[in-house]
């Protein structure tokens, strides 16, 4: 009964948003406010979608197995939280969540933005049209309310890999980021139709920041989840699915920088619009790659070709519409004269680097797909490709990142600049010597990257220090930039530590046997069998001793899920600021006294997560700043 | 006139830089492609033993073998199993923990180097992520298997 109501609400969303779609197609020039009030449509679409989503969630909670999705992705034995998070632990539900977020952003825009009523109407017409396209995709190819007959008595299980608190937070955050870019697309395309008046940049700004913050958190959370759940000892594998999320993040990061100059100097406005459109296109491309089943991944819930074709058609038409509007409405600004040694120049340089990285990752991600379609050859692109291209780009990129904030607007002189930051340069030499002294035995590449990371952090701290020295109040936007740059510095250090400096030991460990890694002694105490709510766990007990001081017992698990007959690995991690001790347990030998164990020492991994946190906090300062300026 | 020249130079320089970038990307891409082969293709084609490749097929029933081997003074478990495409077979040797979803009689993809035509040294055993999910490469093999069963 509830599920039918959910379906009705979904159809209502479809009907409401279809008005906007036809309005955009046929009546787009002159608005008729009395009938086509897009603000009302947005509100209604949001309320209908949320009602539909609540109905689906309720059906999941009460395990209504007459619904196809629930019978395939849930189970009455599931703990309550996974019944609820299971709503988006499958293709249909997750697309409904996607729609919910999209209508949510439309709703937020309708009640919050300072734009004129006319402009709002134009933006929401495009946003509602996007909602219409997604709703049609849900209704025609991925209806979560589809019935199965006869209803099974018990459902299959939620994929055990997804039975983790990570599922509760990673997808919603990621979607808030991905789909947040839809409103940026709508604002930009609407601005194009209006003939690009600059005031729209101020309207666009907060949405760029908020979406970027969520996407940053979403990617960070996903990476953290993979790190502790998969038991592979790494946090990033250059997997196509990971790359797909990184692409819009990179262009959005480029956008964060240009929108500042577009707002302040009124230059690169067209470029800002193009970046906004491209960012949303890349979000859609990511969705296509992940959801169409062309990629082998935990995210590919379904392998239904009609869905893939439908998403591809959506991607093509939305991209075409945006790009078409762009090329029909540009050349309205004078070409700016930007000197390289100026803040504008450095930000342009940042954009060139960001886009080169995006382009590289895009090629590496989609080339295998093209070649499998065109040449029928089965290939994959390995991590060495990404590392060999991106590592050299990192050097000039980081140098620009360090100098950029110290370079003046308009025109600056390199000699004067170096003179201004001579204290900082001396600090750089000192820290480099210290890092080199502490780690001269490590590979040269890792030393260089850690030094670069330290440089970024120190130069950012020095920026703040200058304000403190002059007893000036630190502006929010400087604070935001400093925090975000420190975040990148920490990320570089963390990523270098946990990739180049990683130590790994795989062995057959006898009960009682000790293994040494770094300063740690890891003694294997044995395996106990523990019963969980819907699984049986074989829990290894490892006594960790550091410099002959007993620290704690780590308990990596191997879980056998009863319903799906599936096994998952739960790694055990001991985190310190210098590195993570990471243990995963494998299979037992026939005599049950020896087990395969895999022990890693991942230096500085914790700084990756702290770096992501810094990025998010930095973004939040920008967000608050962009809000307060408006009023 | 001067302004026009300047713009022309900018366009030419950016075009050159862009093509150089593309060139570097594609050279690197070519060097880092990992090709996928079936056991039969390993026997048919000349494949360098220095290049990382992927091999995929079904894990033959009752072919999984574990033995303890001492390497650099550490006890390691050497795992070996046979991958088949129902025409040719290849022995895979691997040291490490098998992925959670590894099972005899199911599809698997391994990454590593060829030792000789019948033996492969795997660095990584790639797991499927889900009980019901099949990588496209293996899906092809599934249909072969069905055919084999029909006969």
Domain ranges of chain A: 503-603
Query: For residue A623, what pLDDT band results from cuts at 50, 70 and 90?
Result: very high
Query: For residue A525, what pLDDT band results from cuts at 50, 70 and 90?
Result: very high
Put simply, the answer to whether B29 touches A363 (Cβ < 8 Å) is yes
Q: Mean pLDDT throughout A19-44?
A: 76
Q: Which backbone phi and psi does A106 adopt, to 5 degrees? A: -60, -45
Higher pLDDT, A31 or A309: A309
Q: Residue B102 gets which letter from DSSP? A: -
pLDDT in the model for residue A132: 95
Query: What residues contact B20, with CB distance under 8 A and at least 6 apart?
Result: none
* B83 and B110 Cβ atoms separated by less than 8 Å: yes
Q: Mean pLDDT throughout A485-491?
A: 97
Query: For residue A27, what pLDDT band results from cuts at 50, 70 and 90?
Result: low
Within 8 A of A388 by CB-CB distance, chain B residues are: 28, 32
Put simply, the answer to whether B131 touches A367 (Cβ < 8 Å) is no
Q: How far is CA B48 from CA A383, A560, A593, in A?
A: 20, 40, 40
A297, A380, A589: residue with CB nearest B54: A380
Query: For residue B131, what pLDDT band results from cuts at 50, 70 and 90?
Result: very low
pLDDT at A320 over 90: yes
Query: What residues contact A358, with CB distance under 8 A and at least 6 apart?
Result: A247, A250, A251, A254, A282
* A525 and A583 Cβ atoms separated by less than 8 Å: no
pLDDT in the model for residue A304: 64
User: Which two tokens mark A10?
Assistant: 């979904």
Report how far residue A162's alpha carbon sits from residue A414's, in angstroms, rounded to the nearest whole number: 53
Q: Which residues of A191-220 are buried (b: 16+ CB within 10 A; e: fewer)?
A: bbbbebeeebbbbbbbbbbbbbbbbbbbbb
Q: Which of A365, A596, A597, A600 to mutate to test the interface with B (most CBs of B within 10 A)?
A: A596
Within 8 A of A356 by CB-CB distance, chain B residues are: 21
Q: Which of A68-82, A118-132, A199-213, A321-335 has the lowest average pLDDT?
A: A321-335
User: Which two tokens mark A550?
Assistant: 């007993």
Query: For residue A134, what pLDDT band results from cuts at 50, 70 and 90?
Result: very high
CA distance B97 to chain A (A): 6
Put simply, the answer to whether B96 touches A566 (Cβ < 8 Å) is no
**Taking an 8 Å Cβ-Cβ cutoff, which residues of chain B contact chain A?**
7, 21, 24-26, 28-29, 31-36, 52, 54, 66, 68, 74-77, 95-98, 100-101, 128-131, 133-137
pLDDT at A170 over 80: yes
A382, A567, A598: residue with CB nearest B32: A382
pLDDT in the model for residue B144: 57
Put simply, the answer to whether B96 touches A506 (Cβ < 8 Å) is yes
Distance of CA A110 to the CA centre of its chain: 26
Put simply, the answer to whether A594 touches B75 (Cβ < 8 Å) is yes
pLDDT at A404 over 70: yes
Give A583's strand partners: A572, A599
Put simply, the answer to whether A508 touches B137 (Cβ < 8 Å) is no
Strands (DSSP E) along A432-534, which ranges? Answer: 503-510, 514-517, 520-531
Q: Residue A147 gets which letter from DSSP? A: B
Residues A67-93 pLDDT 10s: 988 988 888 888 899 999 999 988 889
Higher pLDDT, A590 or A134: A134
pLDDT in the model for residue B133: 45
Put simply, the answer to whether B131 touches A161 (Cβ < 8 Å) is no
pLDDT at A286 over 90: no
> What CATH architecture is B35-150?
Beta Barrel (2.40)
Q: What is the ipTM of this complex?
A: 0.80
Q: Which residues of A14-48 are buried (b: 16+ CB within 10 A; e: fewer)?
A: bebbbbbbebbeeeeeebeeeebbbbebbbbbbbb
pLDDT at B136 over 60: no
Put simply, the answer to whether A298 touches B129 (Cβ < 8 Å) is yes
pLDDT at A491 over 90: yes
Q: Which of A66-80, A389-403, B60-74 has the lowest average pLDDT?
A: B60-74
Put simply, the answer to whether B100 touches A566 (Cβ < 8 Å) is yes
Residues A406-451 pLDDT 10s: 999 888 888 888 988 999 999 999 999 999 999 888 899 999 999 9
What's the mean per-residue pLDDT of chain A? 88
Within 8 A of A378 by CB-CB distance, chain B residues are: 35-36, 54, 137
CA distance A398 to chain B (A): 19
How many Cβ atoms sit within 10 Å of the Cβ of residue A548?
7
| Nearest residue on chain B to A586, alpha-carbon basis | B97
Put simply, the answer to whether B98 touches A586 (Cβ < 8 Å) is yes
B55 sits in which H/E element: strand B53-59
Q: Mean pLDDT throughout B27-31?
A: 86
Cα torsion A541, A546, A548, A553 to 10°: value is -20
Q: What percent of chain A has pLDDT over 70?
A: 94
A584 sits in which H/E element: strand A579-588
Query: What residues contact A608, with CB distance under 8 A and at least 6 apart?
Result: A220, A223, A235, A490, A491, A494, A495, A498
Over A512-573, what HEC string results?
CCEEEECCEEEEEEEEEEEECCCEEEEEEEEEEEECCEEEEEECCEEEEECCCCEEEEECEE
Share of chain A residues as helix, strand and coil, in percent rounded to the nearest 5: 65, 15, 25
Put simply, the answer to whether B68 touches A594 (Cβ < 8 Å) is yes
B100, B129, B134: residue with CB nearest A297: B129
Report how far residue A597's alpha carbon sits from residue A512's, in angstroms, rounded to the nearest whole number: 13
Put simply, the answer to whether A505 touches B74 (Cβ < 8 Å) is yes
Task: Return the ∠ at Cα A530 (arms to A524 and A536), rounded to 5°.
Answer: 115
Query: For residue B130, what pLDDT band results from cuts at 50, 70 and 90?
Result: very low
* A243 and A290 Cβ atoms separated by less than 8 Å: no
pLDDT at A538 over 50: yes
pLDDT in the model for residue B132: 46
Report how far residue A494's alpha carbon sits from residue A610's, in angstroms, rounded to the nearest whole number: 9
Q: What percent of chain A has pLDDT over 90?
A: 51
Q: Mean pLDDT throughout A281-303?
A: 70
Distance of CA B55 to the CA centre of its chain: 5
Long-range contacts of A428-431 (CB under 8 A, 24+ apart): A428/A455, A428/A458, A428/A459, A431/A455, A431/A458
The listed range with the strongest mean pLDDT (A193-207, A359-373, B60-74) is A359-373
Within 8 A of B134 by CB-CB distance, chain A residues are: 303
pLDDT at A564 over 60: yes
CA distance B44 to chain A (A): 16
Distance of CA A191 to the CA centre of its chain: 27
Question: For chain B, first and last CA: distance in Å?
Answer: 79
Chain A, chain B: beta-carbon pairs less than 8 Å apart:
104
Q: Mean pLDDT throughout B59-81?
A: 80
Give B36's strand partners: B54
Q: How far is CA A570 from CA A225, A230, A546, in A?
A: 11, 7, 23
The listed range with the strongest mean pLDDT (A149-163, A285-299, A342-356, B22-36) is A342-356
Q: Which of A98-102, A452-456, B42-46 has the lowest average pLDDT?
A: B42-46
Q: Which of A234, A296, A365, A503 to mutate to test the interface with B (most CBs of B within 10 A)?
A: A296
Query: For residue A316, what pLDDT band results from cuts at 50, 70 and 90?
Result: very high
Q: Tell the burial category of A383 from Cβ atoms under 10 Å away from its Cβ (0-12, 13-18, 19+).
A: middle
């Amino acid at each position: 009964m509830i599920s039918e109501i959910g379906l009705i609400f979904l159809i209502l969303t479809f009907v409401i948003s279809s008005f906007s779609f036809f309005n955009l197609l046929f009546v787009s020039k002159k608005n008729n406010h009395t009938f086509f009030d897009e603000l009302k449509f947005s509100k209604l679409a949001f309320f209908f979608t949320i009602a539909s989503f609540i109905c689906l969630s309720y059906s999941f909670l009460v395990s209504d197995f007459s619904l196809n999705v629930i019978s395939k992705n849930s189970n009455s034995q599931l703990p309550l939280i996974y019944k609820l998070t299971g709503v988006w632990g499958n293709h249909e539900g997750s697309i409904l969540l996607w729609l919910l977020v999209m209508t949510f952003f439309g709703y937020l825009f309708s009640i919050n933005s300072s734009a004129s009523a006319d402009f709002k109407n134009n933006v929401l017409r495009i946003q509602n049209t996007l909602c219409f396209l997604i709703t049609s995709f849900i209704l025609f190819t991925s209806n979560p309310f589809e019935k199965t007959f006869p209803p099974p008595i018990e459902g299959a299980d939620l994929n055990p890999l997804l039975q983790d608190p990570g599922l509760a937070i990673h997808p919603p955050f990621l979607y808030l980021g991905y789909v947040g870019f839809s409103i940026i697309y709508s604002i930009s395309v609407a601005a194009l139709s209006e003939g690009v008046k600059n005031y729209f940049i101020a309207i666009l700004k907060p949405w760029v920041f908020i979406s970027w913050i969520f996407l940053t958190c979403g990617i960070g959370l996903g990476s953290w989840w993979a790190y502790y759940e998969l038991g592979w000892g790494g946090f990033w594998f250059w997997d196509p699915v990971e790359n797909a999320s990184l692409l819009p993040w990179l262009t959005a990061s480029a956008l964060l920088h240009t929108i500042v100059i577009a707002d302040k100097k009124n230059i690169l406005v067209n470029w800002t619009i193009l970046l906004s459109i491209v960012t949303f296109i890349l979000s859609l491309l990511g969705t296509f790659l992940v959801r169409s089943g062309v990629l082998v991944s935990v995210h590919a819930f379904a392998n239904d070709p009609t869905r893939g074709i439908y998403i591809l058609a959506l991607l093509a038409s939305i991209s075409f519409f945006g790009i078409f509007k762009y090329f029909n409405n540009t050349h309205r600004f004078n070409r700016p004269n930007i000197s390289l040694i100026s803040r504008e120049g450095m930000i342009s340089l940042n954009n060139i680097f960001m886009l080169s990285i995006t382009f590289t990752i895009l090629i590496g991600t989609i080339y295998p797909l093209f070649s499998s379609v065109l040449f029928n050859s089965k290939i994959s692109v390995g991590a060495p490709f990404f590392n060999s291209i991106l590592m050299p780009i990192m050097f000039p990129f980081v140098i620009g990142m360090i100098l950029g904030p110290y370079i003046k607007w308009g025109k600056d002189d390199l000699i004067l600049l170096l003179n201004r930051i001579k204290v900082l340069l001396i600090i750089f030499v000192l820290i480099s010597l210290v890092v080199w002294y502490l780690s001269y035995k490590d590979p040269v590449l890792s030393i260089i990257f850690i030094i670069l990371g330290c440089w970024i952090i120190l130069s950012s701290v020095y920026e703040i220090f200058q304000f403190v020295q002059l007893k000036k109040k630190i502006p929010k936007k400087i604070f935001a930039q400093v925090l975000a740059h420190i975040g990148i510095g920490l990320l570089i250090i963390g990523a270098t530590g946990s990739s180049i400096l990683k130590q790994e030991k795989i062995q057959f460990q006898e009960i009682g046997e000790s293994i040494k890694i770094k300063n740690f002694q890891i003694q294997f105490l044995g395996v106990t069998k523990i019963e969980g709510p819907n699984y049986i766990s074989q829990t290894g007990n490892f006594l960790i001793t550091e410099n002959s001081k007993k620290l704690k017992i780590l308990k990596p698990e191997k879980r056998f899920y009863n319903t799906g007959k599936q096994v998952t690995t739960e790694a055990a991690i001991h985190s310190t600021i210098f590195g993570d001790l990471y243990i995963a347990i494998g299979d037992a030998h026939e005599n049950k006294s020896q087990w395969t164990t895999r022990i890693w020492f991942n230096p500085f991994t914790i700084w990756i997560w702290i770096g992501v946190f810094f990025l998010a906090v930095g973004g939040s300062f920008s967000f608050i700043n962009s809000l307060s300026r408006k009023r | 006139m001067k302004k026009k020249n300047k713009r022309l130079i900018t366009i030419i320089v950016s075009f050159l830089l862009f093509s150089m970038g593309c060139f570097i990307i594609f050279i690197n891409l070519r060097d880092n492609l990992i090709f996928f082969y079936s056991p039969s293709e390993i026997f048919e084609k000349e494949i360098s033993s220095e290049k990382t490749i992927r091999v995929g097929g079904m894990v033959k029933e009752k072919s999984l073998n574990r033995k303890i081997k001492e390497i650099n003074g550490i006890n390691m478990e050497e795992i070996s199993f046979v991958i088949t495409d129902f025409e040719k077979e290849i022995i895979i040797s691997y040291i490490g923990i098998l992925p959670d979803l590894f099972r005899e009689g199911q599809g698997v993809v391994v990454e590593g180097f060829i030792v000789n035509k019948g033996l492969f040294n795997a660095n990584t055993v790639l797991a499927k992520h889900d009980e019901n999910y099949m990588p496209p490469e293996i899906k092809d093999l599934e249909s072969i298997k069905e055919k084999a069963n029909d006969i």
